Amino acid sequence: MTFETIPYTLALNKTETVSAELYRPSQSKSIFAFAHGAGTNMHHKFMKDLAAELAVHQIATLRYNFLYTELNKKRPDFPAVAHQAVAAAIAKAHELFPKLPLYAGGKSFGGRMTSQYLSAQDLPYVKGLVFVGFPLHPAGKPGIERAEHLNTVKQPLLFLQGSRDALAEWSLLEKVCKKLPAATLIRFENADHSFKSGKLNLIPELADKINVWISAISL
């Protein structure tokens, strides 16, 4: 499916802005506000490839930068600053597609910042939250403290996770998901945190799983 690429600028406050880019299929059934991981930006190949694959399923995607990547800094923003970008992206996605189901989430850090923001908000037009590799804990330091805020997220949750992800010990993530009322956990065998699994290209499967989940909860 063909899609249109449209750039945007998102205002975080009176003085600071970040870049965003919309992939808009010729026909869209939903919109996904998609945040990048800590070590990348919205232009990373993984981000663009997944957005393009989602367009095949008629899912429009608004990718966006956090402030630190916009300023070419390496250290990720503090949560309060990151949440401003999440809020601006969700608001823009809703403005662009007010009648379509809106989903939010991101890769690693981007997904965690999105869930932190949504855990403290009441946004009924956000229909679900997608984690593309949830960073449950630092590598080599297993724990579940980073998941505590998920108990107050009101939306259904989709976890797409590699079985070899060093930032999410599988048994711990399973326990977290079992305690959440509306969590779906999908395992990508032998994939790491970057969804690398040998020479396999997992982007089409990731997009397919997101599409199937969105279709199911939209019924």
Predicted confidence (pLDDT) per residue in 6-65, tens digit:
999 999 999 999 999 999 999 999 999 999 999 999 999 999 999 999 999 999 999 999
Structural domain including 66 reads 3-217
The DSSP letter of residue 36 is P
185 backbone dihedrals φ, ψ, rounded to 5°: -115, 120
CA 218 remoteness from chain centre: 18
For 207-216, the pLDDT digits (tens) are 999 999 999 9
At how many degrees (to 10) do helices 203-217 and 45-56 cross?
50
Give the percent of the chain with pLDDT over 70: 99
Which residues 6+ apart lie within 8 Å of 149 measured at CB?
Answer: 115, 116, 119
Q: Which of 97, 117, 123, 96 is nearest to 105 (CA)?
A: 117
Tell me the CATH number at 37: 3.40.50.1820
Instruction: Give the C-alpha separation, 215 to 219, whole Å.
Output: 7
Domain total in the chain = 1
